[in-house]
Amino acid sequence: MTSEILQQARDYENKNADSITKEERPSFHVTPPIGWMNDPNGFSVYKGEYHLFFQYHPYSIKWGPMHWGHYKTKDFIRWERLPVAIAPDSDFDIDGCFSGSAVELSDGRQMLMYTGVYPEMLENGTKKTVQAQCVAFGDGINYEKSKLNPILTEKDLPEWGSKWDFRDPKIWKKDKDLYAVIGTRTTDGSGAILLYKAAEDAPEKWTLVSTVDRSNNEYGKMWECPDLFMLDGKWVLITSPQNMVAKGLEYHNGHDVICITGNFDYETGKFTRENVMPVEGGIDFYAPQTLLTPDGRRIMIAWMQAWDSSKFVPKGQKWFGMFTIPRELTIKNGCLIQNPVREIENYRCNKVSYKNIDIKEEVKLPGVAGRIIDLTATVYFDKKEASGKFVIKFAQNEDFYSSITYDPADNLLTLDRTYSGFPHYIVHSRTIEVKRNEYNSLKLRILLDRNSVELFVNDGEKAMSAALYTPLDADSITFESKGNVKLDIEKYDLKF
Ligand code: FRU
pLDDT digits (tens, 9 = 90+) for 319-355: 999 999 999 999 999 999 999 999 999 999 999 999 9
User: Does residue 5 register a pLDDT over 70?
Assistant: yes
> In the chain, pLDDT over 90 holds for what percent of residues?
97
The 3-class secondary structure across 399-421, one letter per residue, is: CCCEEEEEECCCCEEEEECCCCC
Determine which residue's CA is closest to atom 8 belonging to ligand 1: 224
Output the pLDDT for position 287: 98
The 10s digit of each residue's pLDDT in 249-278 is 999 999 999 999 999 999 999 999 999 999
CATH of 4-343, one of 3.40.190.10, 2.40.50.100, 2.70.170.10, 2.115.10.20: 2.115.10.20
> Of all protein residues, whose CA lies closest to atom 9 belonging to ligand 1?
224
Catalytic residue among 39, 156, 213, 493: 39
Is 89 tagged catalytic? no
Does the pLDDT at position 9 exceed 90?
A: yes
Cis preceding-peptide flag for 278 (omega within 30 of 0): no
| pLDDT tens by residue, 234-254 | 999 999 999 999 989 999 999
Q: In which residue ranges of the chain is CATH 2.115.10.20 found?
A: 4-343
Per-residue pLDDT for 384 more than 90?
no
Mutate-to-test residue for ligand 1 from 99, 112, 257, 286, highest number of ligand atoms within 8 A of CB = 99
- pLDDT at position 386 over 70: no
344-494 CATH fold: Jelly Rolls (2.60.120)
The strand pairing partners of 376, in sequence order, are 445, 490
Q: Is 93 in the pocket of ligand 1 (CB under 6 A)?
A: no
Q: What residues contact residue 19 under an 8 Å CB cut-off, 6+ apart?
A: 34, 318
- CATH 2.60.120.560 placement within the chain: 344-494
Ligand 1: centre distance to CA 63 (Å) = 10
Q: Tens digit of pLDDT for each residue in 138-173? A: 999 999 999 999 999 999 999 999 999 999 999 999
Q: How confident is the model at residue 437 (pLDDT cuts 50, 70, 90)?
A: confident
38 CB near ligand 1 (under 6 Å): yes
Q: For 193-220, what is each residue's pLDDT tens digit?
A: 999 999 999 999 999 999 999 999 999 9
pLDDT digits (tens, 9 = 90+) for 290-321: 999 999 999 999 999 999 999 999 999 999 99
pLDDT score of 385 more than 90 = no
Report the atom number in ligand 1 closest to the C-alpha of 240.
1
Average pLDDT across the chain, whole number: 97
* Mean of pLDDT values over 76-101: 98
In this prediction, residue 486 carries a pLDDT of: 95
Q: What is the pLDDT at residue 452?
A: 98
pTM passes above 0.95: yes
List 335's β-bridge partners, or say none.
Answer: 332
pLDDT of residue 1: 77
Which ligand 1 atom sits nearest the alpha carbon of residue 99? 10
Q: State mean pLDDT over 437-442.
A: 89
